[in-house]
Structures are given as structure tokens and as C-alpha cells.
């Protein structure tokens, strides 16, 4: 159920190197976001990270999984108007704004996104968090895409794999104008999730993994997680240092840098 919106006022917040200007609602003007239910069921998933057979980099093995529970995810990205209330109440750090309050909030780091989730959880007395990479893949539905290099994994020259992956990701990234657009510009997928896999890469909770794969490439033998780097999902999966707000300026640990970094949250039962 949505709550009514209160009056608006103009505010200016000084950030570290920029000035963020918000047209924000009054502090009690929070409107609960629309949610979409992602149904339980069977799906295929490739783990997020860097995987090898011996010293050779390979595609992650595909795993057939069964989700026993539904989950709820925000239908839209967190908007600038929503994020600005968190800033006004001291729960979030100010960042850049673009367009208007009807635009998604981008230029946010993993740290910013999780701060917003904590603030929203306290405000609503519900539990909000970023989706895992696996949940994001389920929510992406028919909009999900990933770079699979297949047989090139067997090439003894690792540079060929890296160059092909870079070219493929760059083509996918450049297929859409990176200019920020209003909420709803990219439409809904088959799950009812709006603007997923547009020109915003979304933070997930999942840490970067280094993993060892069986000799036949069929399954993951072991993995180690590095949680200073998190998976961001969009036209392709990228791994970004957790404090980075704009990966184009640096901080993309693995993968072609995203155009924009934003987020949406999962609500736990």
C-alpha cells in the first residue's frame, strides 16, 4: 500500500567534490515502492567470478538449480526522489543527480546502496537488501544476457579470450545510448520488472569469486570470495570495487565498465 506524498522543498547538499541539488519531499513523504514477485522454480545459473581449469581461464560451469521460495524485488530502480529522502534524513551520503526526481538514482556505490537498504529497513520496519547475483538473474527473465566464450576457453593463448570478451561486452554496452532516461523508458520484462538490462548496471550483494573448475569443465570444485569487489549486473556482468560510484573513471575490477551504476532492492518476508 502506498502512502501519500507530502510537500516538496528545494535543498542543496555539499558532496566531497560536487554539489548535489535535490528537489526533495518532506522527510515523512516516503512512498513504498511497487514490488514484483519472482516465482520459485527451476532455472540455470553460472556463478559470478573468475574460473579456471588449472591455469586456463574458462567459462563458469552452468548449474541447474531449483528455487523453493518466491521473492519480492522492486519493480523500478530506486528513484532520485526516494534516495533524496534518505539523504535529507542523514541515512545516505549525497551524490550526483541527473534529470529530475522521476529519474533513477545513479552514481551510487555498493556502500551507498546498502546504506539506503539499512535506512529503508529502519524506516519501514521491514527487511530490505540488495539482490544476490543469482536472484538478479532470476528477476531479469527474458532480458538476461551473458557473455559465453565457449570453445575459446581451450585456446592456449589467454589473450584471445580476454580480447574477445572485451569486444563482446563493449558491443553490448554501446548498443544503447548511455544517457540517463526517465523511469520506465526500457519497458518491462516477462517478470514485470521494469528497465532491467537497460543502460543501468545494478549492484548485487554477491562477492567476486576465484574458482577452480573440474577438468571436464562440468562443475565447480572450490572457490574463494573477495567481498571488497561486488558483482554489478546489466548488459553483462561486471565486478566493481565497493566504494566506486562511477566505474567509467576507474574501479571496474573485472569486465567492461558500466555506463551507470544504480540499484533496486529485495524485500524479505
Query: Apex CA 41: angle with CA 70 and CA 141, to 5°?
Result: 85
CATH match for 8-268 among 2.30.30, 2.60.40, 3.30.1490, 3.90.1580: 3.90.1580
**Residue 193: closest CA among 101, 98, 71, 92:** 71
Looking up cell 541515512 gives 91
Spatial separation of the C-alpha atoms in residues 16 and 118, rounded to whole Å? 22
- Tens-digit pLDDT string for the chain (269 aa): 333 333 223 333 333 334 454 444 544 567 899 999 999 999 999 998 888 888 888 888 889 999 999 999 999 999 999 999 999 999 999 999 887 888 999 999 999 999 999 999 999 999 999 999 999 999 999 998 876 665 544 555 655 555 555 555 555 555 567 899 999 999 999 999 999 989 999 999 999 999 999 988 888 899 999 999 999 999 889 999 999 999 887 666 566 778 899 999 999 97
For the stretch 150-172, pLDDT in tens is: 554 455 565 555 555 555 555 55
Spatial separation of the C-alpha atoms in residues 128 and 125, rounded to whole Å? 9
Cell digits of residue 229: 569487489
Contact 103, 80 (CB under 8 A): yes
Per domain, the residue ranges of the chain are 8-268
Distance of CA 49 to CAs 131, 175, 186, 197, 237, Å? 16, 24, 28, 19, 9
Amino acid at each position: 500500500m502506498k502512502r501519500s506524498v507530502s510537500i516538496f522543498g528545494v535543498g542543496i547538499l555539499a558532496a566531497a567534490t560536487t554539489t548535489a541539488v535535490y528537489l526533495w519531499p518532506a522527510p515523512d513523504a516516503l512512498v513504498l515502492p511497487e514490488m514484483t514477485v519472482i516465482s520459485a522454480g527451476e532455472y540455470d545459473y553460472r556463478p559470478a567470478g573468475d574460473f579456471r581449469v588449472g591455469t586456463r581461464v574458462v567459462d563458469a560451469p552452468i548449474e541447474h538449480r531449483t528455487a523453493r521460495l518466491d521473492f519480492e524485488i522492486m519493480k523500478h530502480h530506486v528513484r532520485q526522489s526516494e534516495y533524496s529522502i534518505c539523504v535529507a534524513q542523514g541515512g545516505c551520503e549525497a551524490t550526483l543527480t541527473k534529470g529530475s526526481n522521476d529519474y533513477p538514482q545513479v552514481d551510487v556505490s555498493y556502500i551507498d546502496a546498502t546504506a539506503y537498504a539499512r535506512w529503508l529497513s529502519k524506516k519501514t520496519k521491514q527487511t530490505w537488501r540488495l539482490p544476490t547475483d543469482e536472484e538478479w538473474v532470476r528477476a531479469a527473465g527474458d532480458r538476461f544476457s551473458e557473455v559465453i566464450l565457449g570453445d575459446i576457453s581451450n585456446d592456449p593463448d589467454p589473450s584471445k579470450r580476454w580480447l574477445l570478451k572485451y569486444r563482446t561486452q563493449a558491443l553490448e554496452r554501446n548498443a544503447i545510448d548511455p544517457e540517463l532516461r526517465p523511469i520506465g523508458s526500457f519497458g518491462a520484462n516477462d517478470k514485470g520488472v521494469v528497465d532491467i538490462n537497460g543502460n543501468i548496471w545494478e549492484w548485487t550483494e554477491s562477492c567476486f569469486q576465484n574458482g577452480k573448475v573440474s577438468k571436464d569443465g562440468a562443475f565447480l570444485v572450490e572457490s574463494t570470495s573477495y567481498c571488497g569487489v561486488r558483482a554489478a549486473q546489466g548488459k553483462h556482468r561486471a565486478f566493481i570495487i565497493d566504494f566506486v560510484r562511477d566505474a567509467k573513471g576507474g574501479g571496474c575490477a573485472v569486465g567492461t565498465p558500466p555506463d551507470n551504476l544504480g540499484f533496486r532492492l529485495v524485500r524479505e518476508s
